[in-house]
């Protein structure tokens, strides 16, 4: 179906308006954008609108694995928003297997979906995913695992929607800095911590690990890493790693940094089993603001967490998908749109419960 010229003009005008927003903390639409990039503006918008669906269309959604607590809330939000807008949505589980996801992408292309929303299984697969969707000329929104700007530059009908992972790490560090003793519970002049990392292939895991501790160092605090283990975002792994570390390092551990909440909830079980008390003799922080974690923050069993805004990102992903369907193209270096993280403490945790 071809859109009318009037609609084409409306799209061009709306993109022109967006471009006019300039830099800073503006938003391209539904989500709260943290200084995110914008579509490249009127100049790069194609005048003829390619097969944009009227009153809905078909969307293929690839999730890296359904068995991931945060991506489950994200997936549910995405499906609800797309269905609410009249799209026909098919969501598939990559089972954390990139070759399986590649097949799913190819199947969607063969079926002739109007757009794809893809949460890659592996960041390292970005080049081949981008080559595939480009060859098929399918408008594509990548989510949750950010490729490099150079990789995205290969295809101008592609955009990434996510968050600035460094920001979430910094917020975790700040949560510790805001405690009465700035994390130095035993008063020995340094903060001794363990780091329970997500999948280290994922930029979120890399940057949260770096920037959480970086915030302490930037504040002039001496730090000591007792252990760093990969927990792959998984609650049970978080529990096991923390239990082993508590057995090995005992009271030396003052802070447990977890790259996400699911691992923090696992770690909390081990902390409680070891007879330790969060916010009295140990601090514990996560990221995501899962409902379970918000409850623990309110109960004083987690020091804090960071809102990873699933609804905001899903809203922005759909918004960007619609811009692409309307004919928008993106210039190199302007293909990432960010939604803000929010620091969560006992004072504001109740605001985020769904
Ligand atoms: C992160 C999130 C983790 C996990 C991961 C999957 O942003 O904090 O909990 O879902 O994405 O890539």
Total domains in the fold of the chain? 2
Tell me which H or E stretch contains 141: strand 140-143
Pairing state between β 58-63 and 88-93: parallel
Any idea which residue has 């929607």 for tokens?
161
Amino acid 12: pLDDT: 35
Q: What angle do CA 353, 240, 224 make, to 5 degrees?
A: 90
Residue 349 inside a domain? The answer is: no
pTM: 0.86
Sign of CA dihedral 246, 252, 258, 264: positive
- Domain shared by 34 and 173, yes or no: no
- Domain shared by 152 and 11, yes or no: yes
Count CB neighbours of 9 within 10 A: 12
Q: State which of 64, 66, 68 you would mutate to test the pocket of ligand 1, scoring each by most atoms of that ligand within 8 A of its C-beta.
A: 68
Amino acid 139: pLDDT: 98
- Domain shared by 291 and 260, yes or no: yes
Q: For ligand 1, atom 1, which residue shows the shortest CA distance?
A: 204
Amino acid 186: pLDDT: 98
Amino acid 318: pLDDT: 98
Q: For ligand 1, atom 10, which residue shows the shortest CA distance?
A: 70
Amino acid 38: pLDDT: 43
Any idea which residue has 């009908």 for tokens?
157
Distance 337 CA to ligand 1 centre (A): 17
Residue 75 inside a domain? The answer is: yes
Residue 72 inside a domain? The answer is: yes
Residue 223 inside a domain? The answer is: yes
- Domain shared by 121 and 256, yes or no: no
Q: What are the tokens at 245?
A: 């570390």
CA–CA distances in Å: residue 113 to residues 77, 82, 129, 133, 139: 20, 14, 16, 11, 10
**If we measure between CA atoms, which residue out of 163, 123, 109, 139 comes closest to residue 320?**
139
Atom nearest to 145 CA in ligand 1: 12
Pairing state between β 283-285 and 336-338: unpaired
Q: Are 121 and 99 in contact (CB under 8 A)?
A: no
Rounded to whole angstroms, how far apart are CA atoms 163 and 341?
7
Distance 70 CA to ligand 1 centre (A): 6
Amino acid 54: pLDDT: 53
Looking at the chain, how many residues does it have?
354
Rounded to whole angstroms, how far apart are CA atoms 92 and 65?
9
Distance 300 CA to ligand 1 centre (A): 23
Ligand 1 first shell, C-beta below 6 A: 68, 70-71, 144-145, 198, 202, 204, 233, 260, 287-288, 308
- Domain shared by 158 and 186, yes or no: no
Amino acid 354: pLDDT: 84
Rounded to whole angstroms, how far apart are CA atoms 284 and 248?
18
Rounded to a whole number of angstroms, the CA Rg of the chain reads 21
Find the CATH number of the domain harbouring 139: 3.40.50.2300
- Domain shared by 181 and 157, yes or no: no
Rounded to whole angstroms, how far apart are CA atoms 181 and 185?
6
In DSSP terms, 88 is beta-bridged to: 58
- Domain shared by 6 and 61, yes or no: yes
Question: What are the backbone dihedrals phi and psi of residue 143, each rounded to the nearest 5 degrees, phi first?
Answer: -130, 155
Residue 272 inside a domain? The answer is: yes
- Domain shared by 44 and 64, yes or no: yes
Instruction: Show the domain range for 88.
Output: 2-163+311-333
Per-residue pLDDT of the chain (354 residues; tens, 9 = 90+): 333 333 333 333 334 333 322 222 223 333 334 334 444 333 333 323 344 445 579 999 999 999 999 999 999 999 999 999 999 999 999 999 999 999 999 999 999 999 999 999 999 999 999 999 999 999 999 999 999 999 999 999 999 999 999 999 999 999 999 999 999 999 999 999 999 999 999 999 999 999 999 999 999 999 999 999 999 999 999 999 999 999 999 999 999 999 999 999 999 999 999 999 999 999 999 999 999 999 999 999 999 999 999 999 999 999 999 999 999 999 999 999 999 999 999 999 999 998
- Domain shared by 177 and 147, yes or no: no
Distance 340 CA to ligand 1 centre (A): 15
Amino acid 124: pLDDT: 92
Atom nearest to 287 CA in ligand 1: 8
Rounded to whole angstroms, how far apart are CA atoms 55 and 46?
21
Residue 202 inside a domain? The answer is: yes
Atom nearest to 68 CA in ligand 1: 10
- Domain shared by 295 and 328, yes or no: no
- Domain shared by 6 and 148, yes or no: yes
- Domain shared by 298 and 197, yes or no: yes
Chain-centroid distance of CA 94 in Å reads 17
Q: Say which residues have a Cβ less than 8 Å from residue 84's Cβ, sequence separation at least 6.
A: none
Amino acid 56: pLDDT: 78
């Amino acid at each position: 179906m071809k859109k009318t010229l009037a609609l084409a003009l409306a799209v061009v005008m709306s993109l022109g308006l967006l471009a006019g927003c300039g830099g800073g903390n503006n938003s391209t639409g539904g989500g709260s954008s943290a200084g995110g990039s914008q579509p490249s503006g009127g100049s790069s918008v194609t005048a003829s609108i390619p097969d944009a669906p009227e009153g809905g269309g078909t969307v293929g959604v690839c999730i890296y694995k359904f068995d991931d607590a945060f991506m489950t809330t994200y997936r549910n939000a995405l499906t609800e928003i797309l269905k609410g807008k009249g799209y026909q949505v098919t969501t598939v589980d990559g089972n954390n297997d990139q070759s399986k996801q590649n097949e799913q992408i190819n199947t969607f292309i063969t079926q002739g979906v109007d757009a794809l929303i893809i949460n890659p299984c592996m960041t390292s697969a970005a080049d081949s995913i981008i080559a595939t969707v480009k060859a098929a000329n399918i408008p594509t929104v990548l989510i949750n695992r950010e490729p490099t700007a150079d990789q995205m530059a290969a295809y101008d009908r592609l955009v990434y929607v996510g968050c600035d992972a460094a920001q979430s790490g910094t917020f975790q560090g700040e949560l510790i800095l805001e405690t009465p003793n700035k994390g130095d519970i035993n008063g020995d002049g340094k903060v001794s911590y363990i780091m329970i990392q997500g999948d280290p292939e994922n930029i979120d895991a890399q940057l949260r690990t770096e920037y959480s501790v970086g915030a302490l160092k930037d504040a002039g605090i001496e730090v000591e890493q007792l252990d760093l283990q990969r927990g792959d975002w998984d609650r049970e792994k978080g529990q096991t790693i923390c239990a082993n570390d508590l057995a090995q390092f005992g009271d030396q551990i003052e802070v447990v940094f977890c790259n996400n909440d699911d691992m923090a909830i696992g770690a909390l079980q081990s902390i409680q089993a070891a007879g330790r008390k969060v916010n009295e003799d140990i601090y514990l922080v996560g990221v995501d603001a899962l409902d379970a974690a918000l409850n623990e923050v309110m109960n004083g069993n987690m020091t804090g967490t960071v809102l990873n805004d699933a609804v905001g990102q899903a809203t922005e992903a759909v918004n960007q998908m619609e811009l692409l369907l309307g004919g928008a193209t993106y210039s190199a270096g302007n293909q990432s749109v960010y939604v803000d993280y929010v620091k969560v403490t006992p004072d504001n945790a109740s605001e985020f419960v769904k």
